A and B are shown apart, each in its own frame.
Chain A
């Protein structure tokens, strides 16, 4: 374990990007040993508050299909999952709402100015190397201004090419199949062109019928069955294609990357299951394209800078062909252009300053009636500084955001220009003399999200008078970790955080006039959230060839709706009620057992056994916490077995075979009311690395 200690010490000294590369190299070297310890330690470069992260083998061993599935294992987040392979999956961090979660893909934020939500179900885990989640913001300062701009942030980092000695290419092919008619082949090709330039190209195809049986059931008060009905989820089919290419370069004092991403899909929207309606016909087509580039230069010990740029075009086609309903056939095209620059100066060994400035341009075209075709220009400027003082590390940042919008249609109203300054303060302290095992931390952050184009302009519903929706976060926490060089326990870490969040000017849909088909968006909501997140992780090594990794998360949240003081009926009122879909208690447990298989003393492969458990406690689907709105807890167990081996006769590096059984006990549950989730389902994966 000395290696890990040295890695840790080393990493504190260098910047993150370098640290990551080096850390990866260390892990790679380590992986040549029979077993590698996959627990993720607290090394975070100059980050003050550590993140939750999943990477490498952890990601591989979780029974997760998309990024959304993996994020369920983090504490403090709730996944809103409409079920199935193609179902919408968005993430709510600490109950502040899905719009407040910033999602970054290889360092640059994924945008959706239209509805402000990123469907994480669309992001495959196939090419992903690490997912990390930060509350508040990534508390290192050398980053773009937009990194300071969300209440919580998910970073998805795709695989960077790494080549074994004497090898200039990697080819990986994966084939997954299983329940829901899933067929999912993917391929990755990485090539080292020169010592300084490498590339990666990956492609993935997903097709699934999305059909699965589901069951709803009610009992009488004496326990006998009142009704019990089983049906097949229909119109949940999906076909999608992902193509992704990237070039990675090194310079004397810098690194650069350029990448392009294309995603094309057609899916059915299975819709709510209600009395007498068991099938829907709505469909959606998406074509997402973006290209982005990034350059980092380390000019000297004291100065580094980076430039990022991105262009994205997102097309969406929604069709409701159901002849009994309003026929809808709408096309939406969003465009985004983005440039960013950040400059990091180390003034003294204790004092760092970063200044970054970003500009972003968003447009939305749609064939909606009277659509105004808005354009949004946003300028972000962030000034941040860290200071080390005795056992304390402090960080402060101030983000200035200037938004102004234009509308194409003559005479249409548009929102006022916004200029907002939002601060964040982070502090951490290492109270133990001589080591950094224990740290205490605190942060405060105030940030906002802009109303989306839909909030502002959607025909009828939109309201250009909307103001930004603000969140304020206060967090106090501790982090403890320890390593042991020998013995049963090799690593233990625990994080405990308590927090208080406020969401004001919350944008909610309110009814407008007569009939429930007309709504509009208003800044009427106010929510207070009090919560505790606890994480514990340990690595046990009972034998030279056995390793057990245990990780548990628990979240308590009291998220109260204080929007309407007049609705204060103690039984049926919404005032003070727990907000929709937020459980008081939730958590997860993941275990990974790995055994180095030997034949006549020779290591021939690794057998892995994974068990993961997710628990979501009782909730209400409306902030009126009455029995009619009550949702029972749900908890699923996923079990997986994998075997990694090498066939000497074949020119392959590694073959991995895995079998997963998800929702082992076939629990029938809804995450979102009337959207049934799949019961027990299976997946087989074959992965070949050449």
Chain B
């Protein structure tokens, strides 16, 4: 039994030894680099990819692909901005380059992060609660926000607004009330078009585009389109393309064409559309349409000719790779090579994937990204020269 007494000590001691395995200081994320594809020297230098990150995770991250080196770099924000507490933020919702600057709308951090377009170094931020999407016009950024003034009534309603941000001072200089929960925003000439969703108002979704006159910065008109509008983008033929999410019950998701001159819907593409990108006369879209009846998704990748307003193909991926894509979440087309970039958000909590297809629709390369890869902005030599005074 003496043995047992000693044994009991021997059993206890390893616990102590083990527990000294220590906590280390957490380092700022080190970017991870992979070579993908082959180098391409064009006026398009590269692109940034904004990963949304799940709500509450504070994992909005930024990736960069350098065409000239064919190098994909994940998670560059931390290294570029090691002194920013809690990194980029929670849920990246939109990304754009304007002039020499990169703008990232960080929805749940209530801010637009403004960075240097070449280095991703932080220049400042614009505080806009529940901000969603942005566009630019003549030195100003226009940002949609869900968080307008609260109207105290029994139904507790709160309209959204568009914030006018001076890109020189990063200050909100004016606001314009629009509909409920405005999402996509586009500028054509001196008019802003805002896709009102009414996403918080179920079942009373918004159905209209707001038109804002930029000279007076007031809402001048509403264009009826369909329930729960999402994105709005202009083509070069005087048309706006607008998709809606539908009400997830009877009203489906569709893509609508709005004539800028008559301000009327002139065509409807009878296919669900989740997001789209217009490049030349081709509108590339994908849809992840969920049916409550069958509890199944229908995923489509198609091209619409914006001039004829007809679907050219329902399969812009031609080599069967679409079978690998779990949840398409973003599409962007290279303005010169017409290579198609499709992001896959997979299960929304683990790293997603970015697929690069040739313009014929065959897979060139794919790379793992951050969580919920979604928004791509091309860094072009041209735009920079244009914007440089």
Contacts and interface: CB of A to CB of B under 8 A. Distances in A.
B350 A624 contact: yes
Interface of B: 1, 4-5, 8, 11-12, 15-16, 18-19, 21-30, 52, 54-59, 61, 75, 78, 82-91, 106, 108-111, 125, 127, 129-130, 146-147, 150, 156, 158, 199-200, 202-203, 230, 245, 248, 253, 274-275, 287-290, 295, 297, 324, 326-327, 329, 345-351, 368, 370-372
Contact of B295 (A326, A463, A554): A463
B200 A326 contact: yes
16 contacts: A218-B28, A274-B56, A275-B111, A276-B127, A323-B147, A324-B130, A487-B5, A489-B5, A511-B327, A511-B345, A513-B297, A514-B329, A517-B55, A518-B290, A628-B29, A673-B56
Contacts of A615: 18-19
A229 B85 contact: yes
Contact of A574 (B55, B106, B248, B350): B350
Given A275-B58, A275-B85, A585-B18, A460 B248 contact: yes
A482 B1 contact: yes
A326 to B, nearest CB: 5
Nearest to A511: B348
Most chain B CB inside 10 Å of its own CB: which residue of A323, A369, A487: A323
A327 B200 contact: yes
A273 interface: yes
A570 to B, nearest CB: 11
A516 B55 contact: yes
Contacts of A573: 350
A277 B23 contact: no
A221 to B, nearest CB: 6
Given A274-B90, A276-B125, A219 B274 contact: no
Given A513-B290, A514-B274, A275 B109 contact: yes
Given A323-B147, A327-B200, A226 B289 contact: no
Contact of A516 (B8, B91, B158): B91
B116 to A, nearest CB: 18
A633 B24 CA distance: 8
Nearest to B326: A566
A227 B83 contact: yes
A617 B75 CA distance: 25
Most chain B CB inside 10 Å of its own CB: which residue of A277, A513, A589, A633: A513
Nearest to A510: B347
A572 B23 CA distance: 23
Contacts of B25: 217-219, 223
B12 A628 contact: no
B85 A589 contact: no
Most chain A CB inside 10 Å of its own CB: which residue of B5, B23, B202, B290: B23
A392 to B, nearest CB: 24
B303 to A, nearest CB: 19
A623 B4 CA distance: 41
Nearest to A276: B109
Contact of A536 (B11, B30, B295): B11
Given A272-B58, A622-B349, 8 more contacts: A218-B27, A275-B86, A276-B125, A552-B15, A615-B19, A628-B75, A632-B23, A667-B23
B245 A515 contact: yes
Contacts of A21: none
Contact of B28 (A220, A273, A329, A626): A220
B350 A622 contact: yes
A134 to B, nearest CB: 23
Main secondary structure of the interface of A (DSSP, over half): loop
A114 to B, nearest CB: 21
Interface of A: 216-221, 223, 226-227, 229, 271-277, 323-327, 329, 369, 460, 463, 465, 482, 484, 487-489, 492, 494, 510-520, 534, 536, 538, 550, 552, 554, 564, 566-567, 569, 571-574, 585, 587, 589, 613, 615, 617, 621-624, 626-628, 632-635, 667, 669, 673-674
Contacts of A633: 21-23
Nearest to B29: A628
Given A489-B8, A574-B350, A587-B19, A324 B58 contact: no
B53 to A, nearest CB: 9
B17 to A, nearest CB: 11
Contacts of A463: 295
Given A277-B90, A567-B350, A227 B84 contact: yes
Contacts of A554: 15, 18
Most chain A CB inside 10 Å of its own CB: which residue of B12, B200, B274, B324: B12
B296 to A, nearest CB: 11
Contacts of B150: 323
Contacts of B54: 516
Contacts of A227: 28, 82-85
A600 to B, nearest CB: 35
Given A567-B346, A632-B23, A674-B56, A276 B89 contact: yes
Given A513-B248, A513-B288, A554-B18, A628 B61 contact: yes
Contact of B324 (A487, A550, A566): A566
A463 B292 CA distance: 9
Contact of B15 (A271, A489, A519, A587): A587
A227 B87 CA distance: 10
Contact of B86 (A274, A460, A482): A274
B372 A516 contact: yes
B21 A617 contact: yes
Contacts of B351: 572, 624, 626, 628
